Amino acid sequence: MSTSRRKFLKTMGATAPALMLAKTGFAGRMNRGGGGGGGMGGGGSTSINVPVFELPLNIPPVAQPSTTDAQGRAIYELTQMNTSVEIIPGYQTNILGYNGMTPGPTIKVDSDEEIIVRQINNTNVRTTTHLHGGHMPAGNDGHPVDYVNPGTYKDYLYTNKQQPATLWYHDHTMDLTGDQVYAGLAGFYIIDDDYERSLGLPSGNNEVAIVIQDRTFSADGSLLYSDNIMGETGDTILVNGTPYPYFQVGTSRYRLRILNGSNARSYNLVLSNGASFTQIGSDGGLLEAPISRSSLNIAPAERLDVIIDFGNNAVGDQVILENTAGSGSTSQIMRFDIVRVEDDPSTVPSTLRSIAQLDPSAAVQTRRWVFGMGGGSMPWVINGQPYDENRVDAYPKLGTTEIWELVNRTGMMHPVHIHDIMWQVLDVNGRPPAPEDAGWKDTFKVPPMGTVRVIGRFDDYVGDPNEITSAYMMHCHILEHEDHAMMTQFIVVK
């Protein structure tokens, strides 16, 4: 079936492969505050009682390698499965989970440590797995049609030839990324190194990664997914898979790696006691220097690495992480409960890492990508065209620097994500990026009717111009925009 035929069917409501998600149309009793978000909407509302600040924060287990390959590379095995978990107390929710959980186990590696992640598909749907933020040989990137069929597996080679950063792995299946990430297929992947460990940043129990996601639950506890073409938003906030958790902390600094793993919702995070965050990193790792921020705007797929200092709090204090971009049930995220006095051995150095600025005069190519509206069943297009897996739109040359102009011709923000390499933002609507966007990035908030120019260098890996699965993607990370064709692909060539 051609791409367009398949997408047309999807848009017309033909069933995706049988995922056990409830369909929309449920009109249940609304007994919670409304959670609408910015003109987008899901297909219903949660009608069961969701506890707020009653469940502890879930910390996903750290994955352990099961064996090594002939080259001595650790092999991590993850099994994707259909399973049922208790997210809302008293209800069972069918999910797709890596090792049966959502988020999946956290993979932790060091820069330049090569590993294999064996993704075993024991689900009833075909999958691909992408390492978001990862720089790895072509063919290992989880191309949307490089399918892993039920009952089979694929070994993904991750070379980690990149700076320490907070990455995440997630499903990237053609037309169904939104469905399958919503169903649970996402997990953390954290790269570290000796230099970063030497900085004295909060670590151990004082370092946590949290993924914020919004979901809607049906009356029977199942996930409600409507494939809203404008972007699916839920009315219930999950952090690491738990609704509105609390997290017990001491009177010290905490390093929080925040991922917006939502399909479409952006957040603006603040602390209820008015304290500021100290941001130390973004998508591609540490910033040059820490910056103090009173609020954190975060779009889908972006990562923020922040320090929260509870040193001025007293035991018994409670600090809520709030979302000023939400309302009602989406205006709160989680709560920090200060429960113990704690010495603080950590430091936040005033210089974190040097970042060599890429020079625009070194760019050999400038490419312009216009994110716009198409027509009919394909509302989302890039340069006027919907994604076609058989069409490659750019062949950047290995070792060269390019400037990409991301132009938004719509009235809504699109978080544009580029695979393979990290980029630097040259300007946003002609002005230099804000300090929080001045580090290495892979996801860019392109403002309504605005333009973001980014610069990057295509290092290390080439693809095969005749092999489509060696292409890397660029797409909007509002997953329903991606699934409805706001995606393009490029192959790096010699």
Question: What is the binding site for ligand C2O (CB under 6 A)?
Answer: 130, 132, 170, 172, 301, 417, 419, 473, 475, 477
Q: Which of 481, 487, 491, 492 binds Cu ion (CB under 5 A)?
A: 481
Q: Which of 170, 419, 441, 453 binds Cu ion (CB under 5 A)?
A: 419
Angstrom distance (rounded) from CA 275 to CA 133: 30
Task: Name the minimum Å distance from CB 172 to ligand C2O.
Answer: 6
Q: Applying CB under 5 A, does 73 fall inside the site for Cu ion? A: no
Stretch that binds Cu ion, among 239-247, 327-335, 391-399, 473-481 (CB under 5 A): 473-481
Stretch that binds Cu ion, among 262-270, 306-314, 450-458, 469-477 (CB under 5 A): 469-477
Closest-CB residue for ligand C2O? 132
Task: Name the minimum Å distance from CB 477 to ligand C2O.
Answer: 6
- Whole-angstrom CA distances from 181 to 104, 172, 288 are 11, 8, 32
Task: Name the minimum Å distance from CB 440 to Cu ion.
Answer: 13
Which of Cu ion, ligand C2O, none lies near 353, with the C-beta cut-off 5 to 8 A by kind? none
Which of ligand C2O, Cu ion, none lies near 481, with the C-beta cut-off 5 to 8 A by kind? Cu ion
Closer residue to Cu ion, CB minimum distance, 335 or 419:
419
Q: Which of 478, 487, 491, 492 binds Cu ion (CB under 5 A)?
A: 478
Task: Name the minimum Å distance from CB 477 to Cu ion.
Answer: 7
Closer residue to ligand C2O, CB minimum distance, 142 or 245:
142
Stretch that binds Cu ion, among 346-354, 358-366, 389-397, 411-419 (CB under 5 A): 411-419
Q: Applying CB under 5 A, does 484 fall inside the site for Cu ion? A: no
Task: Name the minimum Å distance from CB 475 to ligand C2O.
Answer: 6
Which of Cu ion, ligand C2O, none lies near 414, with the C-beta cut-off 5 to 8 A by kind? Cu ion
Task: Name the minimum Å distance from CB 312 to ligand C2O.
Answer: 36
Which of Cu ion, ligand C2O, none lies near 172, with the C-beta cut-off 5 to 8 A by kind? ligand C2O
Task: Name the minimum Å distance from CB 486 to ligand C2O.
Answer: 11
Which of Cu ion, ligand C2O, none lies near 301, with the C-beta cut-off 5 to 8 A by kind? ligand C2O
Task: Name the minimum Å distance from CB 440 to ligand C2O.
Answer: 16
Q: Which of 7, 10, 132, 293 binds Cu ion (CB under 5 A)?
A: 132
Rounded-to-10 torsion of CA 379, 367, 136, 110: -100
Give residue for tokens 């793993």.
261
Q: Which residues bind Cu ion (CB under 5 A)?
A: 132, 414, 419, 476, 478, 481
